[in-house]
Structure 1
Amino acid sequence: MAVLVALMSFTFSILSLQSVKAESVTNGSYVEVDVNKAELYNSLGRKLGVYEPKNSDWYLGKTIEISGKDFYQVATDEYLSENDSYVYHNRPEVITLTKDSDVPVYNSKLVESTSVTLAPGTSWYSDRVIYASGGMPFVRVATDEYVGMWYVVQQKFVQRV
């Protein structure tokens, strides 16, 4: 057994290493499931009987429209409905909020929270951005908590490690 471990250690030590930039694996758009389980559909809008769990993340292939609703491609001819998921982009930064008043918080469906606001003038780490249908960005400050960019007075982009 000791000989096998030594041989494996030697083999791994001579393998070449390759460095990759962190941003090279985080570019693009992603889809996150925001319901308990989301059914997958094919490109014709037919249910596949396959489900994805809440908070699972997928790289977005393309968006198609079926009967007026957006569907997000997560595999070959497998799509998540906009009703069960949302699209986001990675964007690591530290933001500072306006000092004027409390800042409202929204969920991933852009529904304002009735129980949470953020204190004015506070700073937050944000890791992703989502967009309203009109293109207005919202940045995430906690799990399923977003603030509108019009409340951000300063932002400092940070490097992903």
Structure 2
Amino acid sequence: MKRKILVVFLTILLGIGFSFLPTQSVKAESVTSGYFVDVSARSAELYNSSGKALGKSEPENSDWYLGETLDIKGTDYYQVSGDEFLSSNDSYMYRDRPEVIKVTTDADVPVYNHKFVESSEVALAPGTYWYSDRVITTPDGMPFVRVATDEYVGMWYVIQQSFTERY
């Protein structure tokens, strides 16, 4: 009988103690790495963490939260589900960054695709304003901002005019 009373007393004491601990609200999206993956191939094969094809694929332009990145035989693989990964040959990693930017140079600014290949068909005019929604980086860490579908400019050519934070 004494033992039951002691257990009940300790349970009540712990319950009261835990009620004074601070609480913190966390949004579900904040538990991710903050990076996303965009499928750039017409159909991107899914692989497991060993690099074996799973016989499933994801469509072009589908976006995924990035879990972790694995290097398998020199190729990066982006986790988009439990044991499902997209190859960096079929997709690329980006971070959301909605903002309005202004071209600060006196000459046209070259535009690149997500593989950092310069376009010969388009450039941004000096002094123009653009809406940008995402940032990608080269393997060396150089940032590029998106100004249109699969069109990016080096961040050193522009300045931020306004930034919109998303929750």
TM-score computed with the length of structure 2 as normaliser:
0.79
The Cα of 1:25 is off from its aligned counterpart by 9.0
Cα deviations across residues 54-92 of structure 1 (Å, max 9, x unaligned)?
000000000000001100000111100000000000001
Aligned residues of 1:108 and 1:144 also touching (Cα < 8 A): yes
2:42 is aligned with 1:74: no
3-state SS of the aligned residue for 2:156?
A: helix
Alignment equivalent of 1:42, drawn from 42, 45, 48: 48
Alignment equivalent of 2:93, drawn from 87, 90, 104: 87
The Cα of 1:99 is off from its aligned counterpart by 3.2
Residue pairs, 1:11-22, within 5 angstroms: none
Q: Give the letter aligned to residue 70 of structure 1.
A: D
Aligned residues of 1:90 and 1:128 also touching (Cα < 8 A): yes
Aligned residues of 1:96 and 1:124 also touching (Cα < 8 A): yes
Give the corresponding residue for 1:118. Answer: 124
3-state SS of the aligned residue for 1:120?
A: coil
Q: Give the letter aligned to residue 146 of structure 1.
A: Y
Identity over the aligned pairs, expressed in percent?
67
Q: Give the letter aligned to residue 126 of structure 1.
A: S
Give the corresponding residue for 2:6. Answer: none
Q: Give the letter aligned to residue 40 of structure 1.
A: L
In structure 2, what is the Cα distance between the partners aligned to 1:139 and 1:57?
17
Unaligned runs of 5+ in 1: 1-19
The Cα of 1:26 is off from its aligned counterpart by 8.8
TM-score computed with the length of structure 1 as normaliser:
0.81
Give the corresponding residue for 1:98. Answer: 104
Q: Give the letter aligned to residue 72 of structure 1.
A: Y
User: What RMSD, in angstroms, separates the aligned Cα atoms of the two structures?
Assistant: 2.1
Larger Rg: 2
Q: Give the letter aligned to residue 70 of structure 2.
A: I
3-state SS of the aligned residue for 2:114?
A: coil
3-state SS of the aligned residue for 1:45?
A: coil
In structure 2, what is the Cα distance between the partners aligned to 1:158 and 1:27?
19
Give the corresponding residue for 1:12. Answer: none
Aligned residues of 2:33 and 2:67 also touching (Cα < 8 A): no
The count of aligned residue pairs is 142
Alignment equivalent of 2:62, drawn from 45, 56, 63: 56
The Cα of 1:158 is off from its aligned counterpart by 1.9
The Cα of 1:114 is off from its aligned counterpart by 1.1
